[in-house]
A and B are shown apart, each in its own frame.
Chain A
Amino acid sequence: QKEVEQDPGPLSVPEGAIVSLNCTYSNSAFQYFMWYRQYSRKGPELLMYTYSSGNKEDGRFTAQVDKSSKYISLFIRDSQPSDSATYLCAMVSSGGYNKLIFGAGTRLAVHP
């Protein structure tokens, strides 16, 4: 079993839809949770960073962490065609020296 599970999609939604992306994990030591966006043939771009459980909002993006369920989510409101990319969740354990453990990524396509 992988430490971090993420549905690879692809996920196709119409412009303006609310998108929900999710990851589950098995390692209780994970304390830091990140979402990266990766356009085709580019490096990952840090979108959201949260510590422990709770919600964090930044513009159209909201990240949620539920440590009791070992489940994290990224919501995108009013999705745009420019949001079409692969979204990667990543986690770091406490004392993990920034060693990121990634999910496989979910491909998102937002069509006009």
Chain B
Amino acid sequence: DAGVTQSPTHLIKTRGQQVTLRCSPKSGHDTVSWYQQALGQGPQFIFQYYEEEERQRGNFPDRFSGHQFPNYSSELNVNALLLGDSALYLCASSLAGKTEAFFGQGTRLTVV
């Protein structure tokens, strides 16, 4: 059973550029959440997608947007990258109505 998979593993971008990160949820899961984890910090909730709609959003600017596809996979897009966007971006999948969330290995984004 494949767990949560994310791509790419590492990414280096320049300030002002745009980036797209991808996530495939654990088999059978229908809900995808995205988190940002700065070095030495706990993950911070960005937003959650269910039934292809953004269901809940954390305290992140509109530069952060996302999408969920009919197969439940998801993308995170970040526009106008800032140096402060450098972090580990984590995708978590879960089943609607269940609390346990399972994380992928993350995408490490470096903005230079």
Contact = CB atoms under 8 A, between A and B. Distances in A.
Main secondary structure of the interface of B (DSSP, over half): strand
A104 interface: yes
B88 to A, nearest CB: 8
Contacts, number: 69
Interface stretch (A14-22, A43-51, A61-69, A70-78): A43-51
Interface residues of B, number: 30
Given A43-B90, A98-B48, A99-B58, A8 B40 contact: yes
A101 B56 contact: no
B100 A49 contact: yes
Interface residues of A, number: 26
Contact of A43 (B40, B56, B104): B104
A41 B108 contact: yes
B103 A99 contact: no
Contacts of B45: 99-101
Nearest to A94: B99
Residue among A41, A46, A88, A98 with most chain B CB within 10 A: A98
A60 interface: no
28 contacts: A4-B42, A6-B42, A8-B40, A32-B99, A34-B101, A41-B88, A41-B106, A41-B108, A42-B106, A43-B4, A43-B90, A43-B106, A46-B101, A49-B99, A90-B42, A92-B99, A97-B48, A97-B50, A97-B56, A98-B33, A98-B48, A99-B56, A100-B33, A100-B45, A100-B101, A101-B45, A102-B43, A104-B40
